[in-house]
């Protein structure tokens, strides 16, 4: 079983362990098209600027994000990846009783524990396909001062309606509870307007939206993300709490180029959706797997019928040159679960061949 807060994407550690530098990493949920050529060129064109300090105001980047995502630029704060902002927020607001749905992204809990918050779980039900238990969640808000929601949820891939989240935010406000909604995978969804709650920002001062730019734009090594909140005091205090040079100059230029590359964004959504459907359909044909229907670029699997736990499955796949995400360390899951990313067709076929060979 992986350590409690261990993540996917540990390709360097896996390569060092196996001596194989050609491992295919299905444990990190990154855009299968990889880095945009326009973004790569922007990075190369600006390498010389690393002799200067980064722009602390990041006005151009905030304005571009504001235009693309329809968010007022003054409500935006930039981060060295979205995760940095989770920690900054917790250190600013100092929550005492935090509510998490489970299973979900582990950095919410880790950020909350960094300020000694008490963690409370609202568990999702496998029998109900990990859907949001709206009434149960609303009841659980009592005496909680912060709630984290991931939409689409990681690792289950469950997508929650904006209407249901709006109901949660309204009840949270009545309970003096601050809500963080992580929309880091929302870029992969063509009709994201039906699910994003950014339209609530102006009317809700107890809401902060987190958005990673590393997943969809394939920038995990550069680190780039943002948060948006209409409470000016929260944004002001977060800006004071973070490193003023937290986003390096290459990440800033990459972000600007990525947001301008409309062809890449459109092609990424189309290609990824095609491969999501392909991989889901092929995996669903394998009788010993329970495959949960994905909404974005990762798929949760229950491997219980294979007669092995997730640690053994991980090891066998690693020996076949493939890294998967062992989900045993997610509260609310167990050694019956693994998560795989959606990649290019050739890589997806290699994964399918590897899984099928286990069943022979």
d(CA 309, CA 7): 18
Stated as kind and residue range, the H or E segment containing 325 is strand 325-326
Q: How many CB atoms lie within 10 A of CB 38?
A: 15
Range list for CATH 3.90.1150.10 in the chain: 11-34+263-359
Residue 182 φ/ψ, nearest 5 degrees = -95, 115
Instruction: Report the pLDDT value the prediction gives residue 16, as an integer from 0 to 100.
Output: 72
d(CA 78, CA 59): 10
Instruction: Report the pLDDT value the prediction gives residue 17, as an integer from 0 to 100.
Output: 74
| Residue position matching structure tokens 């670029």 | 297
Instruction: Report the pLDDT value the prediction gives residue 22, as an integer from 0 to 100.
Output: 82
Instruction: Report the pLDDT value the prediction gives residue 68, as an integer from 0 to 100.
Output: 97
> Are 54 and 223 spatial neighbours (Cβ–Cβ below 8 Å)?
no
d(CA 156, CA 179): 20
> Are 149 and 165 spatial neighbours (Cβ–Cβ below 8 Å)?
yes
Look at domain 37-260 and name its CATH class. Answer: alpha beta
Instruction: Report the pLDDT value the prediction gives residue 18, as an integer from 0 to 100.
Output: 72
Task: Going from the first residue of the chain to its last (360 residues), give the mean pLDDT of each consecutive group of 10, the final group possibly shorter.
Answer: 60 71 92 97 98 98 98 98 98 98 97 98 96 97 98 97 97 97 97 94 95 97 97 97 97 98 98 97 97 97 97 96 96 97 98 94
Task: State the alpha helices, DSSP H only, in the chain.
Answer: 11-18, 37-45, 59-69, 82-93, 106-113, 134-140, 162-174, 232-241, 249-260, 262-284, 310-319, 345-359
The architecture in CATH of the region 11-34+263-359 reads Alpha-Beta Complex (3.90)
Burial of residue 94 (CB within 10 Å: 0-12, 13-18, 19+) is exposed
d(CA 319, CA 354): 10
Q: How do the residues of the chain divide into helix, strand and coil, expressed in percent and rounded to 5? A: 45, 15, 40
Range list for CATH 3.40.640.10 in the chain: 37-260
> Are 148 and 182 spatial neighbours (Cβ–Cβ below 8 Å)?
yes
């Amino acid at each position: 079983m992986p350590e409690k807060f261990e993540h996917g994407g540990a390709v360097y550690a896996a390569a060092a362990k196996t001596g194989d530098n050609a491992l295919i990493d299905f444990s990190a949920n990154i855009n299968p098209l990889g880095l945009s050529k326009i973004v790569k060129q922007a990075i190369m064109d600006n390498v010389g600027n690393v002799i200067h300090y980064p722009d602390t105001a990041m006005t151009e980047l905030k304005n571009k994000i504001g235009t693309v995502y329809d968010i007022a630029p003054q409500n935006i704060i930039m981060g060295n990846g979205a995760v940095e902002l989770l920690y900054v927020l917790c250190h600013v607001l100092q929550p005492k009783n935090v509510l998490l749905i489970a299973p979900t992204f582990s950095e919410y809990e880790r950020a909350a524990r960094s300020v000694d918050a008490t963690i409370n779980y609202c568990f999702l039900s496998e029998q109900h396909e990990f859907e949001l238990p709206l009434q149960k969640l609303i009841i659980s808000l009592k005496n909680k001062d912060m709630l984290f929601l991931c939409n689409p949820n990681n690792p289950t891939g469950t997508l929650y309606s904006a209407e249901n989240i709006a109901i949660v935010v309204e009840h949270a406000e009545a309970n003096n509870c601050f809500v963080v909604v992580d929309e880091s995978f929302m870029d992969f969804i063509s009709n994201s307007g039906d699910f994003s709650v950014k339209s609530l920002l102006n009317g809700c001062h107890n809401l902060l939206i987190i958005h990673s730019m590393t997943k969809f734009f394939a920038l995990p090594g550069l680190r780039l993300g943002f948060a948006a909140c209409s409470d000016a005091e929260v944004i002001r205090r977060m800006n004071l709490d973070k490193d003023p040079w937290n986003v390096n100059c290459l990440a800033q230029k990459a972000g600007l180029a990525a947001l301008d590359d409309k062809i890449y964004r459109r092609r990424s959504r189309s290609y990824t959706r095609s491969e999501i459907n392909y991989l889901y359909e092929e995996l669903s044909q394998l009788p010993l797997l329970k495959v949960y229907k994905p909404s974005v670029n990762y798929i949760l699997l229950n491997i219980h019928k294979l007669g092995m736990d997730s640690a053994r499955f991980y090891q066998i796949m690693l020996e076949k040159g493939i890294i998967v995400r062992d989900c045993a360390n997610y509260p609310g899951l167990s050694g019956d679960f693994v998560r795989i990313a959606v990649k290019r067709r050739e890589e997806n076929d290699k994964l399918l061949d590897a899984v099928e060979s286990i069943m022979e």
